[in-house]
Chain A
Amino acid sequence: MVHGEIWTIKELFVYPNEYIYWSIQIVMYPFMTGLVAGAFVLSSLYHVFGIKELKDIAKFALVFSFALLFAAPLPLMLHLLQPQRGLYVFFTPHFTSAIAAFGIVFFTYSAIVASELWFVYRKHFVETAKRLKQKQDRTFGEAAQYIVFTVLTLGAYDIGEKALHADEKAVKILAGVGIPVAAFLHGYAGFIFGSVKANALWMTPLMPVIFIMSAIVSGIALCMFTYIVTMEIRKLLASRRSASYRGYESREQIKGVEVNVIQMTSRYLLLFLVFAISLELLDLVFRGYTAVKSWDVLRSVIYGRDFLDIFVLQYGVGNLLPLILFLWPRMTVRRAVIGVVLVLFGVFMMRWNVVIGGQSFSLTFSGYMDYHLPIMPTNWETYREGLAGALTIMAIPYALFLIFLRIFPVFSEARQK
């Protein structure tokens, strides 16, 4: 069977070689990089602009962004028909291609996030390494930990006041440089689509900007969601282990911090959400008004075949509903959770409607293609380009985050208070 034939249903006049070649993993790719960029921007709001209310979530967002970063290129790898040749993109980059820049942008960005993390947590690395060094009878786990943290210090043991001050300065610079690079990382994912002149739905210079805005929205939403979940778990632990969990936090204390952070963060979420919706609507209005050759088929897709996906699921459930939820006075944690989950769903649907929607009409402008997502994996192909592959990609950053929590104490700040 030809690649793409399993999940493509053709209708009316479609060229013989046309199939939905870019499927769920290409939906996942901008979704994941969007989360990376968004999480980083959220952390930078504190580090660069000194928005103190975001201090608690900023550290968390930075570590989470790092975990997401490793998962971001995986959808691309899973999508390749020759994944073993994926590294050729770095060996022989063909720079007229938007994808060729991926290696450079991705590694630059990774380096920035990694070094920012190092400066933020350097004090912790040094302290842990020193503490373990002094310990007489180390267990096997502690010995391993000692090696890891000694390596992580990179030989820089100076944690005097002057050195720490320099660290802070470095963090600020890196976070500042990181914002445009994060925007570029994701804007360029938008460029990959926006520059395909053969695709009438994708080709618009607005695409990179729309992608950046929705990326920040989704990144903030995911950070809020994960933050709330971890806080709830800690609350649960706190109430279980009597009033004082590890001697300093009560259930009410955690809750107070949580609501405050959520309220602050949701304001930034709203701001970027409004930007994203405005740009998307501008694009839609412009297409209808100019009504070039492709508009007839685009209109039949947007207002007809994909109406449910675009107007009900993306704009209605994914944008309008959370907008109301967040604007409603007296924010509660429960409402915030519903809101951010809907926002994440909305951004995912936006990626879906761009990637799949862009391939749901033929290059002939007089035929259609329907995408049927493979649910049950029956072979490697239906696994990697199906629901199971997408869920794997979504789970990876959480697994990584759990590992990273052992190296970067995200929640220690609250404990030290």
Chain B
Amino acid sequence: MITRRDFLRYVVIGAAGTALPLTLTGWKGARAAASKNGPRWVFLLDTYKCVGCGLCVKACKIENEIPFEANVSRTWVERYVVTKDGKVYADSPHAARDGFSDYAVSLGDKGSRIIPPSDIDKAFFVPKLCNQCENPPCVQVCPVGATYQAGDGVVLVDRKWCIGCGYCIMACPYGVRFFHPVHHVAEKCNFCYHRITKGLKPACELACPFGARHIGDINDPVDPVTRIIMSERVSILKEEYGTKPRNYYVGLSREVR
């Protein structure tokens, strides 16, 4: 007859014995995904060319089915106004969905402020989207592995596996993540992954009338985007966090957050 002690021992050994191989295959699979061949998608953003029309935001919302009225967006445009006394005003009302048609700078829920043009030293627009970081903190903190980095560098979210804890939203220093108002899971820009994997351009790039946004493959030395990144003076956002962002900016000013 089997004793209670033996029974418990067999249960523990059996459970451990089944769990271990399953875990190992999981790790192996994850390693294989991060291949070094093929493209590594990056974005090039020229702030000199951006006029803040907001067409990129509109196109993105339609293409990626983010409700138009919802105050969240996968991409947005920021306006910076630097006055002669050194003050910096910045805003992005409704993620600049409707463009910047008003001189008044939004102060959030506290109204807005009109800055007379004679007081302004400089003003410019900065488009933002997910940086598809080389070292993404959002992927690191996801407790269930629902967000992951594809082999081509793009960070994706599995809507069927996300538990909606919001840890990834907290971990992103760029504020690109939010909860999808319909699906109620974490959501972010993925460079229009469904398009770029078919050889198409992202919606925002196509919508931009001024050529301020370009996707590129940094592994392709003849890609015009790669050539600009390699040969001209470009900068990245919030380098101090060590996330190694992959969006490169031309003409970034020190006021940009």
Q: Which residues of A are at the interface with B, using a C-beta cutoff of 8 A?
A: 1-5, 9-19, 21-22, 76, 79-83, 85-86, 88-89, 91-94, 96-100, 102, 155, 192, 195-199, 293, 362-367
Q: Are A89 and B175 in contact (CB under 8 A)?
A: no
Q: Are A88 and B144 in contact (CB under 8 A)?
A: yes
The A interface is mostly helix, strand or loop, or mixed, namely: loop
Q: Are A92 and B145 in contact (CB under 8 A)?
A: yes
Whether B251 sits at the interface, judged by CB under 8 Å, is no
Q: Are B110 and A11 in contact (CB under 8 A)?
A: yes
Report B-chain residues with C-beta under 8 Å of the C-beta of A5: 71
A81 to B177, CA, bound (A): 15
Q: Are A99 and B241 in contact (CB under 8 A)?
A: no
18 A–B contacts, CB within 8 A, in A order: A2-B72, A11-B110, A15-B92, A15-B128, A16-B76, A81-B184, A82-B184, A85-B162, A92-B144, A93-B143, A99-B141, A100-B144, A102-B143, A197-B137, A198-B170, A198-B171, A364-B90, A366-B90
From residue B145, how far is it (CB to closest CB) to chain A in Å? 4
When the two chains form the complex, which single residue of A17, A98, A155 contacts B73, counting CB atoms closer than 8 Å? A17
Q: Determine the residue in chain A with the shortest Cβ distance to B174.
A: A363
Q: Do A198 and B185 form a contact, CB below 8 Å, given A2-B71, A16-B94, A92-B145?
A: no
Report B-chain residues with C-beta under 8 Å of the C-beta of A192: 167
From residue B127, how far is it (CB to closest CB) to chain A in Å? 12
Whether B109 sits at the interface, judged by CB under 8 Å, is yes
Q: Are B161 and A88 in contact (CB under 8 A)?
A: yes
Q: Are A198 and B137 in contact (CB under 8 A)?
A: yes
A21 to B138, CA, bound (A): 15
For the side of the interface on B, what is the size category?
35 or more
Q: Determine the residue in chain A with the shortest Cβ distance to B73.
A: A16
Q: Are B109 and A16 in contact (CB under 8 A)?
A: no
Q: Are B109 and A196 in contact (CB under 8 A)?
A: no
Q: Do A94 and B144 form a contact, CB below 8 Å, given A17-B178, A82-B164?
A: yes
Q: Are B181 and A3 in contact (CB under 8 A)?
A: yes
Q: Are A80 and B173 in contact (CB under 8 A)?
A: no
Q: Are A21 and B141 in contact (CB under 8 A)?
A: no
Report A-chain residues with C-beta under 8 Å of the C-beta of B178: 2-3, 17, 19
The B interface is mostly helix, strand or loop, or mixed, namely: loop
Within 8 A of A (CB), among B148-189: 161-167, 169-179, 181, 184-185
Report A-chain residues with C-beta under 8 Å of the C-beta of B177: 17
A5 to B177, CA, bound (A): 14
Q: Are B163 and A80 in contact (CB under 8 A)?
A: yes
Q: Determine the residue in chain A with the shortest Cβ distance to B79.
A: A13
Q: Are A16 and B95 in contact (CB under 8 A)?
A: yes
When the two chains form the complex, which single residue of B141, B163, B173 contacts A363, counting CB atoms closer than 8 Å? B173
When the two chains form the complex, which single residue of A81, A97, A293 contacts B141, counting CB atoms closer than 8 Å? A97
Report A-chain residues with C-beta under 8 Å of the C-beta of B184: 3, 81-82
Q: Are A85 and B90 in contact (CB under 8 A)?
A: no
Q: Are B144 and A89 in contact (CB under 8 A)?
A: yes
Q: Are A197 and B173 in contact (CB under 8 A)?
A: yes
A85 to B71, CA, bound (A): 26
When the two chains form the complex, which single residue of B110, B141, B170 contacts A22, counting CB atoms closer than 8 Å? B170
Q: Do A18 and B143 form a contact, CB below 8 Å, given A81-B164, A82-B164, A86-B163?
A: no
Whether B257 sits at the interface, judged by CB under 8 Å, is yes
Whether B85 sits at the interface, judged by CB under 8 Å, is no
Q: Are B179 and A4 in contact (CB under 8 A)?
A: yes
Within 8 A of A (CB), among B2-53: 4, 26
Whether B230 sits at the interface, judged by CB under 8 Å, is no
Report A-chain residues with C-beta under 8 Å of the C-beta of B166: 21-22, 79, 81
Report B-chain residues with C-beta under 8 Å of the C-beta of A197: 137, 171, 173, 241-242
Within 8 A of A (CB), among B39-87: 70-73, 76
Report B-chain residues with C-beta under 8 Å of the C-beta of A94: 142-145
Q: Determine the residue in chain A with the shortest Cβ distance to B181.
A: A2
From residue A138, how far is it (CB to closest CB) to chain B in Å? 28
Q: Determine the residue in chain B with the shortest Cβ distance to A154.
A: B4
Name, among A12, A79, A365, the residue most crowded by chain B CB atoms within 10 Å (CB to CB).
A12
Report B-chain residues with C-beta under 8 Å of the C-beta of A79: 165-166
Q: Are B175 and A363 in contact (CB under 8 A)?
A: yes
Q: Are A99 and B164 in contact (CB under 8 A)?
A: no
Whether B205 sits at the interface, judged by CB under 8 Å, is no
Report B-chain residues with C-beta under 8 Å of the C-beta of A198: 137, 170-173, 241
Report A-chain residues with C-beta under 8 Å of the C-beta of B172: 198
From residue A185, how far is it (CB to closest CB) to chain B in Å? 16
Whether B253 sits at the interface, judged by CB under 8 Å, is no
